[in-house]
Chains A and B, each alone.
Chain A
Amino acid sequence: MYLFVREATAAVGLTSLGGHPQMVRPLLAPMAEGAAENKYGKLPDKVRHKVLAMCAATDNIGLFFGEDIFVAFGAIALMHTFLLGSGLDVEPLHIAFWGIPTAICAFIIHALRLYRFDLMLSRSMAEVAQADADAAQELAR
């Protein structure tokens, strides 16, 4: 569930609909936090902060590696102009095209990292739950 939310938002980030003030703060962060709390119950502050930081990071990565595929982006124009200045005439469309392999790799790598993050989250939450259970047992005794 949690991974799914992150994956979907990464894809949204890839179409660069995002932006920190507009998307992450009001939408993505509460969504991810809510999803995680649904699954594991109340999060300790340390874990909660990690989830939020990961949200911001995901938006950045999706945006950076997504935008260059679109020819209208300023960076493509910049590369085109600079190469022209160096005497190399390159179609802007080709620059955008050769950005695709990197963008795909970025997506895969980050998705894998999110998956591992999710596993780590399960583990640390299980530890917390275990500790809580131990404490409760102590108390019962």
Chain B
Amino acid sequence: MIISIEYFYWLAGALLLITAGMIATDRTHPKRWTSSLFWALFALVFLIGDRLSPFVVGVGVLVMAVIAGIGGVGRGAHAELHVKAARASAGRLGHKLFIPALSIPLVTVIGSVLLKNVQIGGVPLLDPKNTTFVSLGIGCMVALLLACILTRDTPLQGLRESRRLTEALGWTMVLPQMLAMLGLLFNDAGVGAAVAHVTTAYINMDYRLVAVMVYVLGMALFTVIMGNGFAAFPVMTGGVGVPILVGIYDANPAVMAAIGMFSGYCGTLMTPMAANFNIVPVALLELPDKYAVIKAQMPTALLMLVVNIVLLYLLM
């Protein structure tokens, strides 16, 4: 293939390494060395992760977890664009500002639909296994280029903003990757099989509707307990989704995954464990009732669970 997903891993790794370098040279940074180490380790996984032994990568991940656990990932001060200058530039550009942002999904869809089977000299243009992600990477580069042209700024400012955003997200940025791995781990450890065993032992899965309900409601319940849909998804999909919905009832895995994840989000709307969504706003808005936001969300979440059951039953 001509454009491989590997290149984008390298690009992501390089970006993270630059971020780590910027932090290391920032004398005013409150947690200079630990933060820098955290992002450098993450960068290494992208750059040479496939050539390192799994043991070394595992140790690196554990070190990252320890750094994040002791609160070692901090935010520095940034040379952001001057507020007035940013306002003026935003006023001048107006709605054109949305062009780069919208170009990302546009290029992604074009790339993954139209360029999917394009070959040059018998070699596929895009990595055939990862067309969508490769197109997404190209889309982001197009967007950066457009943004630089529109704002007459340099890619260097892009790097600075990238560091700002990375630091603003902090360690939560690595969460999706970590939890995806956790999911595979759960699978290998047989957690999915255990869930499957428990559910099939106590609930009659011979009815399609019952199986769908177990998957959707189970996902929401696990999310309520764990506070995060990403953690519940592998357990329920490995336990009920893949073996029963796909295995027995021949469901479309894309539909199952999409609606399953949304069911998890319904759970997120109902749990105080998801503090950043449900508890933090209460403090920000100075509400007297700690559960005010959850109470406001509850009816929508419950209705959505019903909708999800119906949709999954009909669409799968």
Contact of B297 with A91 in the complex, beta carbons under 8 Å: no
Measured between C-beta atoms, what is the minimum distance from B282 to chain A in Å? 7
B299 contact set on A, CB distance < 8 A:
113
**A97-B223 Cα distance, complex, nearest whole Å:** 23
Question: Shortest Cβ distance from B115 into chain A, in angstroms?
Answer: 13
Q: How far is the CB of B239 from chain A (nearest CB, A)?
A: 11
Q: Are A29 and B176 in contact (CB under 8 A)?
A: no
User: How many contacts A-B (CB < 8 Å)?
Assistant: 180
Most buried by A among B113, B246, B265, B308: B265
Q: Which residues of A in the span 35-76 have a Cβ within 8 Å of any Cβ on B?
A: 49-50, 52-57, 59-61, 64-65, 68, 70-72, 74-75
Within 103-143 of B, Cβ neighbours of A (below 8 Å) are at 104-105, 108-109, 112-113, 129, 131-133, 136
Residue A4 at the B interface, CB < 8 A? no
Q: How large is the interface on A (under 10, 10 to 19, 20 to 34, 35 or more residues)?
A: 35 or more
Chain A residues within 8 Å of B276, by CB: 20
CB <8 Å contact, B175 and A109: no
A81 touching B253 in the complex, CB below 8 Å, given contacts A61-B297, A65-B265, A102-B304: no
Residue A133 CB within 8 A of the other chain: no
Query: Is B180 a contact of A78 with CB atoms below 8 Å?
Result: yes
Whether B112 pairs with A91 at a CB distance below 8 angstroms is yes
Asked if B45 lies at the interface with its beta carbon under 8 angstroms from chain A, I say no
- Other-chain contact of A57, B265, B284, B293 (Cβ < 8 Å): B293
Segment at the A interface, from B29-37, B202-210, B228-236: B228-236
Main secondary structure of the interface of A (DSSP, over half): helix
Asked if A83 is an interface residue, CB under 8 A from chain B, the answer is yes
Per DSSP, chain B at the interface is helix
State the B residues within 8 Å of A (CB): 104-105, 108-109, 112-113, 129, 131-133, 136, 175-177, 179-180, 183-184, 187, 229-230, 233-234, 237-238, 242, 246, 252-255, 257-259, 261-262, 265, 268-269, 276-278, 280-282, 284-285, 287-289, 292-293, 295-297, 299-300, 303-304, 307-308, 311, 315
CB distance from B66 to the nearest CB of A (A): 23
Which of B131, B257, B304 is in CB contact (< 8 Å) with A79?
A: B257
State A138–B134 Cα separation when bound (angstroms): 74
- Is A109 in contact with B229, judged by CB distance below 8 angstroms? no
Complex CA–CA separation, A105 to B301 (angstroms): 11
